[in-house]
Amino acid sequence: MSDPDVPVEFLALHGLAVRKAGSPATVASLLGADEAQIAAALDAAVAEGRAAGAKGTYMVAPAGQAWLIEQYPVVYAEAREDGELTAAYERFEKVNTELLALFTDWQTMDAGGQRVPNDHSDADYDRGIIDRLGRLHERAERVVGACADAQPRLRRHLERLEEAYDKVLAGDIDYVSGVRIDSYHTVWFELHEDLLRMLGRTRQE
């Protein structure tokens, strides 16, 4: 599913930058790429000073970030000129605003006019937010699908969103916004970061 026209050396470092830190397996999963190829590319990036690695976890080094900044306008020149992709991205940002509000409402709730942490003891409250997530997920499917029509690699993010949403529906509510798992919030954040880097945009929130 990863783009065959983009060098794996670039994709591996890009995926790692989107992920912030991770193993070859997690980066490969994000990209929909072969784990062995990603592992080799990350090891090469370490040797070139573009990444740092210890105990199977990698991070992009400052030199790697600088190299990516130079590469993005070249690798994604056509994507940045693609009117359909940029239009889909603008629609994405509208869904993003609503999803961020939903995640805030999931993590906190009103108590006497003040926002307090949601301890998830109110099943009706949580159910209402999950219903909202379902409606937003339907919109996200269309928007991310449109992005993936222009850049097929992005379809992997849509698959990951669907996996997280299915787990929420199955009763594992940690997959709404858990930080140590590929929750809906985690995957959405990474998708957003991927699009921002690809299109040369900056995060607004």
Whether the CB-CB separation of 81 and 93 falls below 8 Å is answered with: no
187 and 86 in a common domain: yes
Residues 128 and 191 in one domain: yes
| pLDDT exceeds cutoff 90 at 48 | yes
pLDDT of residue 6: 87
Q: How many distinct structural domains can be found in the chain? A: 2
Domain boundary among 53, 75, 97: 75
- pLDDT reading at 159 higher than 60: yes
Note whether 33 and 84 are same-domain residues. Answer: no
- Would 66 be classed as within a structural domain? yes
Interatomic CA distance for residues 25 and 41, integer angstroms:
12
pLDDT at 151: 94
**Beta carbons within 8 Å of 92's beta carbon, 6+ residues apart:** 143, 144, 147, 192, 195
Predicted local distance difference test score (pLDDT) of residue 132? 97
CATH code of the domain covering residue 40: 1.10.10.10
Which tokens go with 67?
């190299």
For residues 57, 62, 67, 73, the Cα torsion angle rounded to the nearest 10 degrees is 100
What is the chain's mean pLDDT, rounded? 95
Per-residue pLDDT for 194 more than 80?
Answer: yes
Q: What is the mean pLDDT of residues 189-193?
A: 97
The answer to whether residue 121 sits within a structural domain is: yes
Task: Answer yes or no: is 12 within a domain.
Answer: yes
Q: Is the same domain home to 68 and 157?
A: no
Would the pLDDT of 202 be above 90? Answer: no
Interval 90-145: pLDDT, tens: 999 999 999 999 999 999 998 888 899 999 999 999 999 999 999 999 999 999 99
Domain identity same for 24 and 105: no
Specify whether 55 is located in the same domain as 112. no
Q: How far is CA 39 from CA 29, 101, 111, in A?
A: 12, 37, 48
Which pLDDT value is given to residue 3? 66
**pLDDT computed for residue 111 by the predictor:** 85
pLDDT recorded at residue 31: 96
Angle at Cα 47 formed by Cα 45 and Cα 48, nearest 5°? 65
H-state helical runs in the chain = 8-19, 24-31, 35-47, 62-75, 77-81, 83-107, 123-150, 155-169, 174-177, 184-199
| Domain match, 90 and 66 both | no
- pLDDT at 62 (0 to 100): 98
Q: Is 42 found in the same domain as 115?
A: no
Same domain, 71 and 92: no
Q: Which domain holds residue 84?
A: 80-199
Residue 84 in domain: yes
Task: Identify the domain boundary among 26, 60, 75.
Answer: 75
pLDDT tens sequence across 2-30: 566 789 999 999 999 999 999 999 999 99
Q: What is the largest CA-CA distance in the chain?
A: 56
Residue 203 has pLDDT above 90, yes or no: no
In a domain, 115, yes or no: yes
Co-location of 155 and 190 in the same domain: yes
Answer yes or no: is 2 within a domain.
no
Check whether residue 90 and residue 182 sit in a common domain: yes
For residue 205, being part of any structural domain is answered with: no
Answer with the one of 75, 90, 106 that is the final residue of a domain: 75
Residue 204 domain flag: no
Sign, CA torsion 127/132/133/137 = positive
Global pTM reads 0.94
Residue 36 has pLDDT above 70, yes or no: yes
Based on the fold, state whether residues 34 and 68 are members of the same structural domain: yes
